[in-house]
Structure 1
């Protein structure tokens, strides 16, 4: 998955820190809520240590990391970070092999061999999974005369498994009141290449919509036409009347696709920074202590009013301890900037800036790296 940078996803990037709520944990299932003010300006950055960091992994966060590097260099002149968007698998593998200072991944380290290898790389100390970048996934479509569409997870699952085949199917009509829906075949477009977007989309359908086709990075719906990469599926939908796909928010906007509202049981919700932030607000942490592994089911299965539940999260995988002193200092400085001032440009690239309470959890973990 790759999120493309473009000029005006929200229009007012400077307001991004005010758009979002707070994030809960297993011990606080309802989230903390209420406080939406960024604390970016109040967090000191201790520059120093290694002048050039190396990281590798998820292509989903590449544009976010580019923004973080710019903010890091502004805060700490003379430093740099080289990021190779080689994919989550390579990021984990090369972090565990000690070839990069931290890894980027669309999913947390798997218990067992991956976690054990990471601990060995970190001098017998645990590695932490720190979710730093969140990106919404749009259900994008193009249907002449249909500028507004509401779908729920069950109906979306039926569309992408071929059970619902027509745009005027009763299941779609039931969600869209008096809207005029055409007697037109639905053209499903899916990612033909392995994709974290596909994996998260299918997991969402499984949790919220009763999807029985399975998950994973290959699409398993058994219907439609495959296209490579996010650009490929978005461009295909933009050229086919009656088409639908799942794709990162920025690609849907860049290709002028209509975006379905999602009804999780409390009314239709439009994809916005606010609604995506509210989904993060309801997320739970299933990792222990500063290992901030998300319980994605708590996002995908949320029925909270005003919450848009279809999100991706990417993690930075770091050593809790075990770095040399110069590397530890630089990693902490970079991540501190990334979690604070580095968030200011994310909305312009189709990401969701961190809610303040989640930002606080992340900064606590970063400060504890030794």
Structure 2
């Protein structure tokens, strides 16, 4: 479960625990995980797969690979990070069997991905939902700060430059905010985290963030850092620093993170249940077995955390290497099963909602 104590270290599910688990409608994404989800002992296949992309799912993928390979001695799965943008590019070039991406294929990326697949379109399979934490370093401030979307937009566009700014103070009554300059950190590489965080700001605070969602951070100013680890390190070591990062990096580095504002003007704590509540209102907007999601940023539920991403596995619906197809289907089926999804909550992620999990499992079964 996602920790509610900002800065406390979260627990990592050991590979052995995953292995024991592994051995053992409308277009809404649906509610939380349930016993009606797909269940599966791992049905092993042999061979070697290479994949790359999203660093947001790296912790989950590392444990999945260990568990699968421990059960299936004839299989090797190599997952390299590099970021969502690089993963999509490698998939288009045919150098990986599937790619992890924190944003679905864009209209400009889809043609090259389809061309690589030849006999069927590339599809987006949501697999790893995870929250984006807004981490900060403000000496003397121990309680979680309230930061509205408008305030965050102004901070990340350089309109608010000091931590005792009236806009921040107004939402944090009783908090002694220092006169301290703000240093923002953003990703310098193409990133799905940048895409989703800029999308949150663009949807919730358009007047203050006049940019479109983009995998390349679109706003001027601030300090660019390579990878989420670079952002976490920058915030951790910079008095007055603030940056967006996957939750695991904030908790591992003991960086406090904010309650963020939603469409109803509520400040929402980052908890497992609050992330699930927001995710459950997402809609599938892809066609057929393409399960691209669209978040509902108008969701005003006081218990729905609006800054999150979903990592997709991008794969050919048809046209996969026939020698590798059994392993592609076996491995992705395991990821979409209860055995793969249930442990995610112990790693700083949340499992797929039940209805969406069922759709993903069905789509994997049709790969050819």
1:237 aligns to 2:232 (yes or no):
no
1:315 aligns to 2:316 (yes or no):
no
Q: Which residue of 1 aligns with 2:21?
A: none
TM-score, normalised by the number of residues in structure 2: 0.83
Conserved? CA contact 2:11–2:347, under 8 Å? no
Specify which of 98, 101, 105 is matched with residue 102 of structure 1. 98
Q: Which residue of 1 aligns with 2:196?
A: 200
The correspondence of residues 92-131 of structure 1 with structure 2, limited to 5 A, is 92-111=88-107, 114-131=109-126
Change (3 A) 1:102 1:174: same
Change (3 A) 1:286 1:186: same
C-alpha distance in structure 2 between counterparts of 1:79 and 1:46, whole Å: 11
Report the alpha carbon displacement of residue 230 of structure 1 after superposing the two structures with TM: 2.2
1:253-280 deviations in Å (ceiling 9; x for gaps): 2222211001212632111222222221
What is the SS of the residue equivalent to 1:103? strand
Conserved? CA contact 2:266–2:300, under 8 Å? no
Specify which of 348, 352, 355 is matched with residue 354 of structure 1. 352
Change (3 A) 1:96 1:234: closer
C-alpha distance in structure 2 between counterparts of 1:185 and 1:86, whole Å: 32
Change (3 A) 1:228 1:158: same
1:275 aligns to 2:270 (yes or no):
no
1:159 aligns to 2:164 (yes or no):
no
Specify which of 333, 336, 339 is matched with residue 339 of structure 1. 336
Report the alpha carbon displacement of residue 157 of structure 1 after superposing the two structures with TM: 0.3
Structure 2, unaligned runs of 5 or more:
1-7, 19-24
The correspondence of residues 248-259 of structure 1 with structure 2, limited to 5 A, is 248-259=246-257
C-alpha distance in structure 2 between counterparts of 1:38 and 1:253, whole Å: 29
C-alpha distance in structure 2 between counterparts of 1:117 and 1:238, whole Å: 39
Conserved? CA contact 2:317–2:366, under 8 Å? yes
C-alpha distance in structure 2 between counterparts of 1:176 and 1:106, whole Å: 32
Q: Which residue of 2 aligns with 1:3?
A: none
Q: Which residue of 1 aligns with 2:131?
A: 136
What is the SS of the residue equivalent to 2:105? coil
1:115-143 deviations in Å (ceiling 9; x for gaps): 33333433421221111122221111122
Conserved? CA contact 1:67–1:346, under 8 Å? no
Q: Which residue of 2 aligns with 1:288?
A: 287
Structure 1, unaligned runs of 5 or more:
1-6, 18-24
Conserved? CA contact 1:72–1:338, under 8 Å? no
1:314-362 deviations in Å (ceiling 9; x for gaps): 2211222223554322211101111222234434443333232221121
Q: Which residue of 2 aligns with 1:260?
A: 258
Aligned positions, number:
349
Conserved? CA contact 2:261–2:268, under 8 Å? yes
Q: Which residue of 2 aligns with 1:145?
A: 140
C-alpha distance in structure 1 between counterparts of 2:212 and 2:30, whole Å: 33
C-alpha distance in structure 2 between counterparts of 1:136 and 1:96, whole Å: 27
Q: Which residue of 1 aligns with 2:22?
A: none
C-alpha distance in structure 2 between counterparts of 1:100 and 1:234, whole Å: 28
C-alpha distance in structure 2 between counterparts of 1:93 and 1:144, whole Å: 41
What is the SS of the residue equivalent to 1:259? coil
Specify which of 155, 167, 170 is matched with residue 166 of structure 2. 170
1:264-308 deviations in Å (ceiling 9; x for gaps): 126321112222222211111110121001114x2x443222111
1:187 aligns to 2:183 (yes or no):
yes
C-alpha distance in structure 2 between counterparts of 1:12 and 1:71, whole Å: 11
Conserved? CA contact 1:8–1:348, under 8 Å? no
C-alpha distance in structure 1 between counterparts of 2:85 and 2:13, whole Å: 35
What is the SS of the residue equivalent to 1:258? coil
Change (3 A) 1:118 1:216: closer
1:164-221 deviations in Å (ceiling 9; x for gaps): 2232322222222333333333232333444332232222111111211454344343
C-alpha distance in structure 2 between counterparts of 1:347 and 1:36, whole Å: 11
Q: Which residue of 1 aligns with 2:326?
A: 329
Report the alpha carbon displacement of residue 28 of structure 1 after superposing the two structures with TM: 4.7
C-alpha distance in structure 1 between counterparts of 2:14 and 2:205, whole Å: 34
Conserved? CA contact 1:46–1:329, under 8 Å? no
